[in-house]
């Protein structure tokens, strides 16, 4: 049985007061909320940019889309939005939602208190004249907004930030959007990993796991990595950025939406990664644990995995549980870069 998460339970408290019109649920939890609020005259459609959530809801029979933002411009009478983790992403989501609401439409915004929901009225006020707190329960809060402020139409390109990544012998243009890891900058962990990869010169089939905007994979391509590069991420927003970055630089790579390694296929000569350890506002290491456990099954006979991580995380121990040849390539006060090979 799939547990209904706290934010969804708060929304369910107001099921009877939701308008009897079609509803779009954006950024939903992987639970049965959509079933609980649907009626014959109140069908519920869902949209998520998380592939793992998409797969769960799809298997439950939900009418769900996997996309970075709505590709259709149809107007809606009611939208329920789960609070995204990043405030900049919240502004982008609210801009999109307000632009899609029909006259008289209503938006409900729900989220956990520790995720910052209590400060969201300041952002809601940018797009709506009327903002009302509806409820608080289970350490979550629900707001309702209506009467949209007239403004310019939602255009994703307005939120894109381009920056330059300098690597030996090349400069790479990276396109990023709010919500993508290390938005608009090179994070210190990836910088340390890139320094280590420069000496190793990966080639063959290369998998950039949890690629984000594609920084690692694009850097390898720009510096002459030969073979086939695959950029993998759970986030539709990240894969959108990776695609834009590839196009800007005239580079080619595969893009793969995947919950962990669930959609990966074949074997790779190299797997490179700055693995995630956050799910929402929580430190959730399950994705990384599964990655280290399963990565060896996707490596070629002489394949190699190369990862960077915060030194306080247990990733080194997990690597040594799955690989018998693990070496430290670089480390500083914050990060460690490890290389590991298949057990022989």
| Residue 255, SS3 per DSSP | strand
Q: What does the pLDDT read at residue 16?
A: 93
Tell me the C-alpha distance between 133 and 108, whole Å: 10
Closest to 214 measured CA to CA, from 230, 227, 192: 230
Distance set, CA 91 to CA 23, 126, 177 (Å)? 21, 9, 12
C-alpha Rg value of the chain to the nearest Å: 21
Contact by Cβ (8 Å): 336, 309: yes
Tell me the C-alpha distance between 157 and 223, whole Å: 28
Domains and CATH numbers, the chain: 6-155 (3.40.50.150), 160-341 (3.40.50.150)
Tell me the C-alpha distance between 318 and 320, whole Å: 5
Greatest alpha-carbon pair distance for the chain in Å reads 65
Alpha carbon dihedral 229, 230, 231, 233, in 10-degree steps, equals -160
pTM of the predicted protein model = 0.93
Tell me the C-alpha distance between 326 and 296, whole Å: 12
Q: What does the pLDDT read at residue 337?
A: 97
Q: What angle do CA 80, 56, 290 make, to 5 degrees?
A: 120
Contact by Cβ (8 Å): 79, 98: no
117 DSSP 8-state letter: G
Along the 344 residues of the chain, how does pLDDT read in single tens digits? Answer: 567 899 999 999 999 999 999 999 999 999 999 999 999 999 999 999 999 999 999 999 999 999 999 987 789 999 999 999 888 899 999 999 999 999 999 999 999 999 999 999 999 999 999 999 999 999 999 999 999 998 889 999 999 999 999 998 899 999 999 999 878 889 999 999 999 999 899 999 999 999 999 999 999 999 988 889 999 999 999 999 999 999 999 999 999 999 999 999 999 999 999 987 645 444 467 888 899 999 999 999 989 999 999 999 999 999 999 998 999 999 999 999 999 997 55
> Tokens standing for 93?
């989501």
**E strand or H helix at 126, and its extent?**
none
Q: What does the pLDDT read at residue 226?
A: 86
Contact by Cβ (8 Å): 238, 300: no
Distance set, CA 28 to CA 31, 52, 310 (Å)? 8, 12, 29
230 beta partners: 207, 254
Q: What does the pLDDT read at residue 277?
A: 65
Pairing between strand 335-341 and 299-310?
Answer: antiparallel
Q: What angle do CA 187, 230, 276 make, to 5 degrees?
A: 40
Q: What does the pLDDT read at residue 203?
A: 93
């Amino acid at each position: 049985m799939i547990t209904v998460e706290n934010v969804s339970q708060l929304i369910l408290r107001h099921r009877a007061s939701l308008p009897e019109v079609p509803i779009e649920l954006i950024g939903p939890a992987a639970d049965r909320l959509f079933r609980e609020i649907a009626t014959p005259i109140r069908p519920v459609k869902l949209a998520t940019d998380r592939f793992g959530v998409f797969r769960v809801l799809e298997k439950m029979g939900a009418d769900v889309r996997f996309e970075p933002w709505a590709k259709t411009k149809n107007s809606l009478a009611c939208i329920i939005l789960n609070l995204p983790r990043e405030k900049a992403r919240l502004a982008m989501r609210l801009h999109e939602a307000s632009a899609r609401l029909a006259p008289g439409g209503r938006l409900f915004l729900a989220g956990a208190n520790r995720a910052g929901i209590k400060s969201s009225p300041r952002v809601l006020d940018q797009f709506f004249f009327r903002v009302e707190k509806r409820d608080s329960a289970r350490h979550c809060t629900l707001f309702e907004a209506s009467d949209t402020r007239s403004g310019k139409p939602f255009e994703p390109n307005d939120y894109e930030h381009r920056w330059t990544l300098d690597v030996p012998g090349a400069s790479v243009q990276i396109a990023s959007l709010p919500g993508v890891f290390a938005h608009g900058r090179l994070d210190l962990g990836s910088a340390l990993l890139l320094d280590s990869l420069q000496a190793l010169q990966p080639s063959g089939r290369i998998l950039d796991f949890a690629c984000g905007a594609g920084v690692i994979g694009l850097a390898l391509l720009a510096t002459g990595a030969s073979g086939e590069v695959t950029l993998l991420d759970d986030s539709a927003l990240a894969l959108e950025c990776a695609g834009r970055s590839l196009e800007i630089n005239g580079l080619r790579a595969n893009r793969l939406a995947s919950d962990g390694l669930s959609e990966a296929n074949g074997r790779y000569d190299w797997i490179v990664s700055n693995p995630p350890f956050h799910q929402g506002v929580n430190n959730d290491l399950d994705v990384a644990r599964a990655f280290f456990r399963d990565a060896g099954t996707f490596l070629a006979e002489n394949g190699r995995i190369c990862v960077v991580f915060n030194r306080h995380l247990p990733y080194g121990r997990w690597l040594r549980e799955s690989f018998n040849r693990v070496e430290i390539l670089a480390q500083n006060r914050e990060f460690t870069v490890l290389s590991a090979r298949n057990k022989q």
